């Protein structure tokens, strides 16, 4: 299933398309409902603007292209306000709008596809892939939101690394997998991803073990995985005053450089 897209807007292509560095963020925006229970897409947009990322992977987003109401078409409103192109992976319908994962980017997109990770009769879940052009290299970005059930995540973890998604032979570029894995212990999904990819050690970069909920972290749900063709240069858990209120999750942002050789990659 191809993702929906919107116009590129004001910002255009970032410098990373030329220099070979790229800033990637992941952020579960909780349908733009903040800790004050108010739905404010403009507040989420303010937080995303603070990140200054080339690519932003969002989870729990509403998208209604024919509506025009920022409360129902949060994805389009945020993308247009900040000048990103929008690519959307629908997992289910919610209040008359599509609901799923959105990827906002300043970079050219070659391909988009949504993978169904739903298990049995649990809430529909997905992994949204966008193939981006960066300095002449293709970057496969996978935007993930796994389920809340232990057995559900085991099944989803296996499917994620299977030939159907990450294990297929069609991925010839660099790979980054980000999102809300809903796994607060080192479960099967985390182990399978850790065997295949480098992972960001939150403690090394932020001196924190946990990131959720933002105001008083008890769990570590949001994750970054990447292959050895990428070198992580900087990483942050974004804890601005607005971010602490805008969603129950905090955004994470990593700045990567495309390594000349897989041997140069490190975390």
The per-residue pLDDT for range 197-235, each reduced to its tens digit, is 999 877 776 666 665 655 655 567 899 999 999 999 999
User: CB-based contacts of 264: which residues, under 8 Å, 6+ apart?
Assistant: 231
Cα(212)–Cα(206) distance, integer angstroms:
14
pLDDT bucket at 176, cuts 50 / 70 / 90 = very high
Asked whether the beta carbons of 144 and 156 are under 8 A apart, the reply is no
- Confidence at residue 260, expressed as pLDDT on a 0 to 100 scale: 53
Report residue 167: phi and psi, to 5°.
-90, 0
Q: In the predicted model, is pLDDT for residue 192 greater than 50? A: yes
**CA–CA separation, 90 vs 61, rounded Å?**
9
Q: Which residues pair with 232 in a beta bridge?
A: 256
**pLDDT (average), residues 17-26:** 83
pLDDT band at 14 (very low <50, low <70, confident <90, very high): very low
Domain 4-264 has CATH 3.60.10.10: yes
Say yes or no to pLDDT of 15 above 80: no
- What digits encode the pLDDT tens for the residues 63-108? 998 777 777 899 999 999 999 999 999 999 988 889 999 999 999 9
Domain boundaries, the chain: 4-264
Helices (H), the chain: 16-19, 41-51, 74-82, 150-161, 188-196, 202-206, 241-246
């Amino acid at each position: 299933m191809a993702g929906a897209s919107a116009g590129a807007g004001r910002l255009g292509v970032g410098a990373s398309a030329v220099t070979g560095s790229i800033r990637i963020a992941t952020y579960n925006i909780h349908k733009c409902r903040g800790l004050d229970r108010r739905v404010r897409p403009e507040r989420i947009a303010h937080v995303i603007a603070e990140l200054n990322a080339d690519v932003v992977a969002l989870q729990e987003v509403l998208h209604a292209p024919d509506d025009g109401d920022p409360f129902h078409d949060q994805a389009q409103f945020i993308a247009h306000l900040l000048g990103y192109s929008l690519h959307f992976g629908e997992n289910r319908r919610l209040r008359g709008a599509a609901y799923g994962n959105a990827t906002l980017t300043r970079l050219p997109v070659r391909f988009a596809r949504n993978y169904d990770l739903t298990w049995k009769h649990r809430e529909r879940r997905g992994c949204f892939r966008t193939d981006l052009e960066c300095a002449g290299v293709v970057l496969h970005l996978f935007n993930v939101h796994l389920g809340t059930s232990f057995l559900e995540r085991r099944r989803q973890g296996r499917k994620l690394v299977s030939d159907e998604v990450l294990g297929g032979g069609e991925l010839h570029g660099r790979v980054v997998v980000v999102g809300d894995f809903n796994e607060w212990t080192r479960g099967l999904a985390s182990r399978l991803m850790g065997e295949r990819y480098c992972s960001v050690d939150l403690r090394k970069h932020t001196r924190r073990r946990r990131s959720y909920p933002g105001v008083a972290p008890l769990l570590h749900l949001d994750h970054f995985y990447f292959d050895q063709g990428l070198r992580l240069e900087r990483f942050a858990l974004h804890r601005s005053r607005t971010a602490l209120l805008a969603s129950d999750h905090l955004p994470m942002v990593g700045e990567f450089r495309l390594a000349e050789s897989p041997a140069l990659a490190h975390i």
